[in-house]
Amino acid sequence: MIPELGHFALILALAVALVQGTLPLVGAARGDARLMALGSAAALTQALLVVVAFAALTQAYVTSDFSVANVVANSHSAKPLVYKISGVWGNHEGSMLLWALILSVFGAAVALFGANLPDTLRARVLAIQALIGVGFLAFLLFTSNPFERLSPASADGNGLNPLLQDPGLAFHPPLLYLGYVGLSVTYAFAIAALLEGRVDPAWARWVRPWTLAAWCFLTLGIALGSWWAYYILGWGGFWFWDPVENASLMPWLAGTALLHSAIVVEKRDALKSWTVLLAILAFSLSLLGTFLVRSGVLTSVHAFAQDPARGLYILAFLLTVTGGGLALYAWRAPKLTSSGLFQPISREGALILNNLLLCTLAATVLLGTLYPLFLDLLTGNKVSVGPPFFNATFVPICAPLFAALCVGPFLGWKRAELWPALQQLRIAFFVAVVAAIVAAVAIDSRSTLAAVAFGFGVWLIVGSLVEFAGRLRLGRAPWADSLRRLRATPRAAIGMTISHAALGFVVLGAVATGAWHLEVIQTLKPGEKTRIAGYDVALVRVDNVQGPNYLAERATLAVTTDGRPFTILQPERRLFTVQRRQVAETAIHTNGLRDLYATLGEGDRNTGWVIRLYLNPLAPWIWLGAALCAFGGFVSLSDRRLRIGAPSRRPAVQVAE
Amino acid sequence: MTPKRKRLWLLAGSLVVLGVAVTLVLTALNDNLVFFYSPSQVAEKSIPSERRFRLGGLVEMGSVKKNGQEIRFTVSDTHKTISVVYRGLLPDLFREGQGVIAEGSLGPDGAFVAREVLAKHDENYMPPEVAKAIKEAGQWRK
C-alpha cells in the first residue's frame, strides 16, 4: 500500500511540475500576476509530493518490504539499519529519486525565500527548475520506477553491494547530489536572466550563495569519495583519474570558476554574459557526470551493469538542457551589457585569469575523459587515457593558477599595480622557494617536479596568510587595532583566506603522498616480519571473525619502532555471505602527518598471507584540506551580504561608480 | 583603456592559454594513450615490448597459479590466449571465468607483464571492451 502511495505521489509530482514549468512562464511573458504566483505554490506542492515518495521508498527499505523489486535487488534483512537507509540511494532508481528530491526541495527553497526577487524572475526561475524536474520525474516513472512490485514477494533480498556498505560511501552520493543539483538552481537563474534579458548585481547576489553552497557540498562529496577510494580499494592512492571521478571534478572546476566570476558581476557589474554561460556549462557538466555514471559507456571502477536505454534518455536530456541553454544564450546574451570597465591588471583581470585557467582545466579533463569514446566511434580503436595524460596536462596548467591565486587578492578593483602586490608577497615567495629546495635536497632528489609542486603548496598557504595579515595590519598596528579589524573583516574575506590556504594543504598532501610514499608487498606467515621506513611490522596471527552480514579474516599486525611497541594494525578481508563477495578492509594508523596503511591479501596458513604496506606522508592533509576548503565556503556563505533577505536592504540595482 | 582594447587583451590572453593547453594535450595524448587489445589482436600485431597497453578478456578456468606474490594466469577471448604475470594484490573481484582488464606490457618471453589489474564494483559487469573482444572472436553467448 505504501509503495503505491509513493508511486502515486511521484505521478502527481510530475503533473504538478508540468504545470509549474509552463504556466508561470506564460504569466511572466504576459505580466499575469496570478499565473506567476502559481509557481511558488506549485513548487511547494511538488516538493511535498516528492518527499512523500522518498519517504515511502525509505519506509520500504527500513521495514525490508521484499515485495518491492528495488528493495529485493539492493537490500537484505540482515543489513545494519544505517545501510538499509543508505541503500535507498545506493542503487540507480533510488539515487535518481534522491536527485529529484533535492531538485524539488531546492525549488521550494527558492519559492520560500525568494519573496524579494522580482516577480517575473522568480516565476521564470521556478518554471525552469520545474522543467528540469519534469525531465527527472519522467525518467524515474518511465524507465526506472523504484516502486515496482514483485509478485510473489521474495523471502529475502540480494543485499547491497558490499563496497557500498561503508560510512564514507553512505553519505558520498547525497553530498555529491546536493552539489550537482545546487548547480541546477544557478542554471535556472541563468536561463531566467536570459529570458528577462537582464542581469544585475541583485541577480548575482542570488546566484552566488547557491553556487557557493553547491560548491561546498560538491567539494565535500568529492573529498569523501576520494577518501573512500583511499581506504577501501586498498591501492594506497586517492585519485585515479577515473572517468567517474573526472565527471565530478568537471562541474567542480566550472563551479569554482562560476563562484569567482559571480563576484565580478555582483561587485563590478561586469562579466555578465560570461557568468551566465558558465552557469549553463556548470550544470551541463553535472548532467554529463550523471550520464557517464548511469550509462556505463566508459570503463571505470564505478561502472555498474546498466541499461543503455537509460543512458540514451539522459543523453537526450543532457542535449536538451545544454543545447537549449546555449541556443537561448546565443540569441539573448548580446542584450546583456556590462557597465563596469577595468584594466587588465586589476582584481577583475585576476578573476578572469582564474576563470580562463579553471575552464581550461575543465576542458582538459573533459577531453581526456571523452577521448576514448570519440576514438572508439571514429576509428573503433579501444584506448584508455590514464593518469600520465592528466599529470602531463592538468598539473602544468595548475601552476599558473596557483601562482596567480595569491596575487589576485592584493589587486584592487578597476586598476592596480602588479609590482607592489608582488612586493607584499616577498616572504611567501621566499618561504616557498626554501620549502621546495628543502624538499628537493632532503626528501627526494630524483623528482624536481614534486619539489616544485611542494613549493607551490607552501606558497598557497603562506601567500593567503600574508594577505590576511596585511588586511589586519598584523604587526604594523597595535594588537587592539588588528583585533578590531578582524571583527570588521567580512566573513566572505575570511572564508576566502581559509579556502585558499586549504587548497595549499590539499596540494601538499597530494604531492607528498603521490611522490614520496613508500610501499612494501610481502608474503608473511604468522611470526614473520617485515620493515617499512623504520617501522617493524610483524604478523602476529590471522583470525576468523563473524560480522553482522559477513565473515572476515582479520590479521593482527604488531608494529614496533626500535623494539618498542608502536601500534597494532588489523586489516581484514571480508566475505559478504549474501553476495559471496570479498572486500578488503584496510587498517590505517595516522598521526596527522603520515598514514601507515596496511591491507591483507589472499593466503593461508601454509603459504602465508600477502600483506601490503604503505607509508603515505601527509596523506590526511588531502581530506582535511578539502574539508577546510568547504568550511571556508560555508564561512563565506554566512556573510551578512549573502544572507536571505539581505539584498532587499540595498537598492536593487547598484550602479557601479 | 577602451573596451575594444580590453577585448583584444582578453582575446590574446585566452589564445595564449588555449595554445599552451592544446600543445600540452596533444603531446600528452601522443605519449600516453593506452590502447586496448584482446589476446587475438596481440597475436596479430607485433607490439613492441616497451609499449604499455591494456589487455582484456576472460580469466581462463583453472589457470590461476600463485607463487608467493607472483600470480600467473591466462587471459582468453575464447579464440586466442595469452599468459599474464602479475606481482601484487589482486582486486577483490578477480575470479576465474570472469572478465578482467590488465594494464602492462609484453615481457621478453611473450607473456604479458601486468602492472595493474583493474577492479570492478559489480560482479555482473562485463567491461565493454572485453565483451566486444569476445564478440569479435565470434564466441559471444548471452
The residue-averaged pLDDT of A219-235 equals 87
Q: How confident is the model at residue A652 (pLDDT cuts 50, 70, 90)?
A: very low
Residue of B nearest to A91 (CA): B122
Q: Specify the pLDDT at position A442.
A: 81
**Do B66 and A602 count as a contact with CB atoms less than 8 A apart?**
yes
Residue of A nearest to B38 (CA): A382
pLDDT digits (tens, 9 = 90+) for A440-498: 888 777 788 899 999 999 999 999 999 999 888 887 888 888 889 888 889 999 999 99
Residue of A nearest to B20 (CA): A397
The residue-averaged pLDDT of A195-217 equals 89
Q: With beta carbons under 8 A apart, name residues in chain B contacting A386.
A: 32, 34, 103
Give A68's DSSP letter.
B
Q: Is B110 left (phi over 0), alpha (psi -120 to 50) or beta?
A: left
**Do A521 and B89 count as a contact with CB atoms less than 8 A apart?**
yes
Q: What are the boundaries of each domain within chain A?
A: 1-160, 192-321+330-405, 406-516, 518-619
The residue-averaged pLDDT of A267-275 equals 87
Distance from CA of A628 to the nearest CA of B (A): 30
Q: How confident is the model at residue A108 (pLDDT cuts 50, 70, 90)?
A: very high
How much of chain A, in percent, has pLDDT values that exceed 90?
A: 48
pLDDT higher than 60, residue A645: no
pLDDT digits (tens, 9 = 90+) for A587-601: 999 998 999 999 988
DSSP B54-83: EEEEEEPTT--EEETTEEEEEEE-SS-EEE
Q: Specify the pLDDT at position B30.
A: 74
**Do B121 and A301 count as a contact with CB atoms less than 8 A apart?**
yes
H-type alpha helices, A473-554: 479-488, 491-516
pLDDT higher than 90, residue A10: yes
Contacts of A215 (CB under 8 A, 6+ apart): A179, A182, A252, A255, A256, A259, A633
Q: Specify the pLDDT at position A217.
A: 96
Neighbours of A59 (CB within 10 A): 15
Q: With beta carbons under 8 A apart, name residues in chain A contacting B54.
A: 382, 384
**Do A342 and B20 count as a contact with CB atoms less than 8 A apart?**
no
* CATH code of the domain made up of B35-136: 2.40.50.140
Nearest Cα neighbor of B105 from B31, B32, B34, B29 is B34
Q: Specify the pLDDT at position A304.
A: 47
Residue of B nearest to A603 (CA): B68
**Do A521 and B9 count as a contact with CB atoms less than 8 A apart?**
no
The residue-averaged pLDDT of A174-183 equals 92
CB distance A529 to A538 below 8 Å? yes
Q: Specify the pLDDT at position A4.
A: 93
Name A253's bridge partners: none
**Do B126 and A305 count as a contact with CB atoms less than 8 A apart?**
yes
Inter-chain Cβ pairs, chain A and chain B, closer than 8 A = 132
Q: With beta carbons under 8 A apart, name residues in chain A contacting B101.
A: 299
Pairing of strands A383-385, B33-37: antiparallel
Q: How confident is the model at residue A647 (pLDDT cuts 50, 70, 90)?
A: very low
Q: Specify the pLDDT at position A204.
A: 86
Distance from CA of B15 to the nearest CA of A (A): 10
Distance from CA of B64 to the nearest CA of A (A): 13
How much of chain A, in percent, has pLDDT values that exceed 70?
A: 95
Distance from CA of A506 to the nearest CA of B (A): 23
Give dist(CA A457, CA A252) in Å, integer: 20
Closest partner residue to B121 (CB to CB) among A304, A343, A344 is: A304
Contacts of A269 (CB under 8 A, 6+ apart): A200, A201, A338, A339, A340, A654, A655, A656
**Do A297 and B128 count as a contact with CB atoms less than 8 A apart?**
yes
pLDDT digits (tens, 9 = 90+) for A275-312: 999 999 999 999 888 777 776 666 554 444 456 677 77
A357 versus B43: the higher-pLDDT residue is: A357
pLDDT digits (tens, 9 = 90+) for A84-107: 898 898 888 888 999 999 999 999
Question: Cα B135 to the chain's mean position, in Å?
Answer: 18
Q: Specify the pLDDT at position A308.
A: 65
Closest partner residue to A305 (CB to CB) among B10, B91, B124 is: B124
A24 versus A643: the higher-pLDDT residue is: A24
pLDDT higher than 50, residue A650: no
pLDDT higher than 90, residue A162: no
**Do A301 and B87 count as a contact with CB atoms less than 8 A apart?**
no
**Do A389 and B118 count as a contact with CB atoms less than 8 A apart?**
no
CB distance A50 to A7 below 8 Å? no
pLDDT higher than 50, residue A173: yes
* Regions of chain B with pLDDT less than 50: 121, 140-142
Distance from CA of B12 to the nearest CA of A (A): 11
**Do B88 and A389 count as a contact with CB atoms less than 8 A apart?**
no
Q: What are the boundaries of each domain within chain B?
A: 1-32, 35-136
Give dist(CA A642, CA A647) in Å, integer: 8
Least confident of A223-227, A432-436, A639-643: A639-643
The residue-averaged pLDDT of A113-137 equals 92
